[in-house]
Structure formats: structure tokens, C-alpha cells
Amino acid sequence: MAQQPRPSARFRPTDVVDFVIVGSGAAGGIIAKELSTAGHSVVVLEQGPRLTERDFDHDEFGTFMRGHNINDPATQPHTFRATAQQTAHRQQALIYGRLVGGSNAHFTGNFWRMRPSDFNEASRLGGVAGTGLADWPLSYDELEPYYTKAEWELGVSGEPGPFDPPRTRPYPMPPLPVKSSGVLLERGARALGLHPQPSQMAINSQTYNGRPACQHCGFCLLFMCEFRAKSTSMAVMLPLAEATGRCEVRPNSYVAQVEVAQNGRATGVAYFDAQKRLQRQRARAVVLCANGSETPRLLLNSATSRFPDGLANSSGVVGKYLMFNSYVAVNAQFEQPLNEFKSVQNTRMVLDFYETDPKRGFYGGGGIDARFGKYPITFALGGLPTGAPAWGESFARELAHQFPRSMAFGCHATSLPLDTNNITLDPTLKDAWGLPCIRATYNDHPDDLKTVSFLAKTASDIAHAAGALAVWSDPIGPQTLAVHLLGTCRMGNDPRMSVIDRNHRTHDVRNLFICDGSSMVTSSRGQPTETISALAFRAGELIASFAKRGEI
């Protein structure tokens, strides 16, 4: 796919387009491509700027400490608290991408399918008391063609592992070359009788559809890829959508409200342009793909006398069941240099503990990958174990010796859906556009902490079995910072218990659709992006078919 000058469509806000899509990330980019190639006019509104390769950098300080390319706490802050009994304080707890391409533009590339068991875990386990754990209204078999489509249309490198779900096509590309961390994970895991497998990554291991193979520069996590080797909405889907001549991607467009007519149908959205002037984009249907944080906020901010508790919220479930994915890193030092700063984050993983095992005594499961722990600043600030020197000659020597010899085992796991974990509107805080801000309330379920503790113990055993000289876990406790924001407009058959139906249509507004991390009923095992992508391919196809049949 050669990059031609974009023949992108340009619509006037007064034009009634077929679809306005809010958000241009993993889901928004795919749905824009599906709807525009099906012949529809589409406007994608993105709150962030449009960046090109010449705007990208490898700036760890700017990216991790100055908030480049993510939601800006100065202009669009939010508040956080662990429980509803506490007062929420302004703090950066939720992170999402704020640029054309969304969080997906700078995601790490992990691309895991969910398994058949993820879709009906509640009924198989008999539920988990006190939680909202529910079955999906879809089966794995129904989603499988779209997992396959996502892998082939985007471009994924991998190889099935021994516990992988059934698939109708192999991976389009072989795995990326193994790194030292991957070799060590394999060594340790095999010694424990486990089954390590190559990581499945949305990063090219070969030239694919005109995009180059990964060049192993090492800047994936929170960085955009200069080579377009990362298979993202930004690099793959949005260019295809724009090439139809029917799709306009409009950056710097901050959506304030979904507008609804007296007859209960959505008429479009009101948004602020780059000059903070209020604009309207009219559309025959609205699709929200604004991330599990901003999608529920937008619905809550769209309350009217007809929808006093927020749009599409007759269930009261909008914003509820927020899931972060529990996570902890186990750090290890080895005798020889690994040079983990080279190439992609991770190349090998262990999924032996994916399933919930009642014998463990708690709900949950996940995976362990072997990864580059920390970029230079982060490593110098906290990459040495507790008790290591913090300054002076021994500090300088220790940093130089350990940086190339260090790695981490990422333990990725489930989060239980709880109605006490949620996104509401802060009662007082307003953003720079005068809109109510998000108030996030989140406290990990004890089983989620037990799951990561269990995985951390296993990762530690793997590290020791691989010959690590030092092994230590980051602290395990309630999370106060998250990049996976899931479950807040969950899908379901019962309009009293869910926001959207199995076809991504909101139960309450016939021409309002939602597809993003908020659609997820359960959290995945810590890597939701392929499921969001598969849902988006399916939603795009369904919405196009509804349009064709006059069912919108």
C-alpha cells in the first residue's frame, strides 16, 4: 500500500453524512475503513492532532513525564478515588492516546485473541458473588472470523501456542526474532514444565502490504513507529478509509455532546474545533469509539430532559464496570548483557495460567511475557532493587552494569467487573472547554490482586530457573494508574443490564452505536486490543448491513 497524497473527502458540518465516528483509534479507524469502503460518507472526529512520521520522536521524558500524545491533565483533567466514600482528587489515573490513531497509535503491539472460555466464564464458573461477571452475548465462534480478519488486514506476527483457541487461518507473518529475555523465559519456563510460546504482535516481522518489517529500534511502548511497521489504525486503516474519497478524518475536534431530536434519534454531534468554536456535524447515525473513558463521559454529558441520566443510559450501567486489567512487573538481573532496549517489547510468553482454576481459590487468569523493563530515565529512577545505592560512585557503576543485564516479566491479568468501579462526572471540575470532567472510582477486587500475586510468584520462579542473579517484584496493590479502560458501556442482551446489544447498537437510541474497549463484558487476560479490533471489524460489517437494509 503505497502512501499516496491523501484524496481525503472534505465535508461541511452542515452536510448530513451517513456516519460520524467519534474517535480514531483501534475501533474508530477500523469502523471508518469498513463503512467508507462499503460506500458510506464518514466523518471521523478526533480530539487530538494529526501527526506524521516527522513529528514522531524517541523522547522518553516528553512521553512518560510530560504527557506527550496522551490526554492532557492541564486542559482535560480528571479526578480519582478508590471508593465512593472517599473524596476524589485531581490526578492522572487514566491514560489514553490523544492524536489521530488514538492509544492504538502508540500501543505496544501485543495482540492476543481471547479464548472460547472468556465468553461464557460467568455461567461456567457459576458467577462470582458480589461482582458483575457476566457472559458475553457473543461466542468465540461468532467472533473468530473477525479475529482472523484483524490479523490479516492489519498484519500480525506470531505462531499459535499449545493452548491457543481454534483459528481458521494461520498467522500472516512468522514471529519476530527472539530476544535474550525471550530465550531466558523459555529456559526458565521449560525447566518448570511450562509451555512458552512466541509473542503475538501487531508488528511486521516481514514486509507486509507495502509496509516494512520492524527495524528493532526499541521504541514501541507509548511511541509511534516511524517505519509504519506497527500495524495500527494510524498506519493501516485510516489511510484505506481516506483513500475511498468518502472519509474525512478531522483532528482537533473535541466532541461535547451527542445531539438527539425530539423523536429520539441522534442527529449528529456538537464539538469544539481547534479554535474552541462550537460546531455541529450532522449525520444519519453516530458511532462512538472514544475509549472506555471518554465514551461513557460523552453519554453522561449528553443528558437531556428526555435522557436525564445520560444518553443511552436507561439501564444506569453507562460508566459502570470499569476494568483496568491487573498487572505487575517482576524484575530480574542476569550475568550477561541482554540489551533489552533493542527491538520490540517482548518476544516470548507463557499462557499456562490463562484459565481460571478453581483449585487456586480465586477468580482470574493471565499471561506472563518477557520484556524490556524500562527506558533509561525510568531505569535510573527505579530500575535497581530496593536497597541498591541511590547516588554516588556505586550508583553510577551499578546503573552502567545492570542496565544491559536487566529485564522484566510482565504479568498481565483479569479484572473483575464491579459496579463500584466506574466513571461518573465530577460534580465540580470542568475542563478547558467548560465540560464536566471524568471522576474515576476504582479499587481492585481481592481476586485480581491474588491473580497477579500468583503470576508474580510464577514469574519469579521462571526467572530463578533461568539463572537470574537477582529477582524482585514491583509492589502489588490497588492500581491508581491505568492504560486499559474497559467495560464502561457493556454489551448484553438485556437492556436493563447493558448499554449496547450484541450488534453494538445502543438499546435506547436506534441510530447510535458504540464500539471500543467500553463494549467489553469481561477484561480479557490483559491484552484487549485484538478483541477490540475484532469487535470493530464485526461492528463495521453489521452497521453497514443495517444501513443497506434501511435498519438504521
Partner 1 sequence: MTDLTDRRTFLRAAIAAGAWAAASLVDIEDALAFASQQASAAPAAQSSALTAAQSEVVAAVASRILPAVDGRPGAREVGASYFIDRALATFNAAQRPLYTDGIADLDRRAGMKAGGAASFAALTPVQQDEIIRDIETTPFFQAIRFDTIVGTFALPSWGGNRDYMGWHLLGFEHQMTFQAPFGYYDGQTRTP
| Cα dihedral 487→488→492→494 (10° resolution) | 140
Name the residue nearer to partner 1 (CB basis): 467 or 478: 467
Name the residue nearer to partner 1 (CB basis): 105 or 532: 105
Q: Is residue 366 exposed (0-12), middle (13-18) or buried (19+ Cβ within 10 Å)?
A: buried
Nearest-approach distance from CB 7 to partner 1, in angstroms: 14
Asked whether 56 and 223 are in contact (CB, 8 A), the reply is yes
Binding residues for partner 1, rule: CB under 8 A, are 1-4, 52-62, 65-66, 177-180, 182-184, 207, 210-213, 215-218, 226-228, 334, 336-343, 376-377, 379-381, 390-393, 395-397, 399-400, 403-404
Instruction: List all residues 6 or more positions away from 342 whose beta carbon is below 8 Å from its beta carbon.
Output: 179, 216, 218
Q: Which residue has the cell 495460567?
A: 353
Cα distance between residue 156 and residue 206, in whole Å: 10
Nearest-approach distance from CB 62 to partner 1, in angstroms: 8
Nearest-approach distance from CB 197 to partner 1, in angstroms: 16
Nearest-approach distance from CB 527 to partner 1, in angstroms: 23
Nearest-approach distance from CB 404 to partner 1, in angstroms: 5
Name the residue nearer to partner 1 (CB basis): 91 or 339: 339
Nearest-approach distance from CB 33 to partner 1, in angstroms: 18
Name the residue nearer to partner 1 (CB basis): 56 or 163: 56
Q: Where are the beta strands (DSSP E) in 188-339?
A: 196-198, 247-250, 254-260, 266-272, 278-288, 327-333
Name the residue nearer to partner 1 (CB basis): 406 or 414: 406
Asked whether 175 and 343 are in contact (CB, 8 A), the reply is no
Name the residue nearer to partner 1 (CB basis): 338 or 462: 338
Nearest-approach distance from CB 480 to partner 1, in angstroms: 19
* DSSP output for 349-381: EE-TT-S--GGGTSS--EEEEEE----HHHHHH
Please give the single-letter amino acid code of residue 36.
Answer: S
Name the residue nearer to partner 1 (CB basis): 379 or 537: 379
Name the residue nearer to partner 1 (CB basis): 71 or 421: 71
Name the residue nearer to partner 1 (CB basis): 189 or 266: 189
Cα distance between residue 77 and residue 90, in whole Å: 7
Q: How many residues does the chain have?
A: 552
Nearest-approach distance from CB 293 to partner 1, in angstroms: 25
Cα distance between residue 296 and residue 309, in whole Å: 12
Asked whether 335 and 342 are in contact (CB, 8 A), the reply is no
Q: Is residue 276 exposed (0-12), middle (13-18) or buried (19+ Cβ within 10 Å)?
A: exposed
Nearest-approach distance from CB 75 to partner 1, in angstroms: 15
Report the SS3 class of residue 509.
coil
- Other Cβ atoms within 10 Å of 16 Cβ, number: 13
Nearest-approach distance from CB 349 to partner 1, in angstroms: 16
Cα distance between residue 175 and residue 189, in whole Å: 19
Name the residue nearer to partner 1 (CB basis): 471 or 520: 471
Asked whether 248 and 12 are in contact (CB, 8 A), the reply is no
Report the SS3 class of residue 235.
helix
Asked whether 157 and 205 are in contact (CB, 8 A), the reply is yes
Name the residue nearer to partner 1 (CB basis): 10 or 54: 54
Instruction: List all residues 6 or more positions away from 27 whose beta carbon is below 8 Å from its beta carbon.
Output: 289, 515, 516, 517, 532, 533, 535, 536, 539
Nearest-approach distance from CB 391 to partner 1, in angstroms: 4
Q: Which grid coordinates are listed for 146? A: 473477525
Cα distance between residue 451 and residue 534, in whole Å: 26
Nearest-approach distance from CB 327 to partner 1, in angstroms: 24
Q: 247-250 and 42-45: which strand pairing?
A: parallel
Cα distance between residue 27 and residue 223, in whole Å: 19
Name the residue nearer to partner 1 (CB basis): 1 or 278: 1
Please give the single-letter amino acid code of residue 280.
Answer: R
Cα distance between residue 403 and residue 254, in whole Å: 41
End-to-end, the C-alpha distance of the chain in Å comes to 33
Name the residue nearer to partner 1 (CB basis): 274 or 381: 381
Nearest-approach distance from CB 463 to partner 1, in angstroms: 13
Nearest-approach distance from CB 234 to partner 1, in angstroms: 13
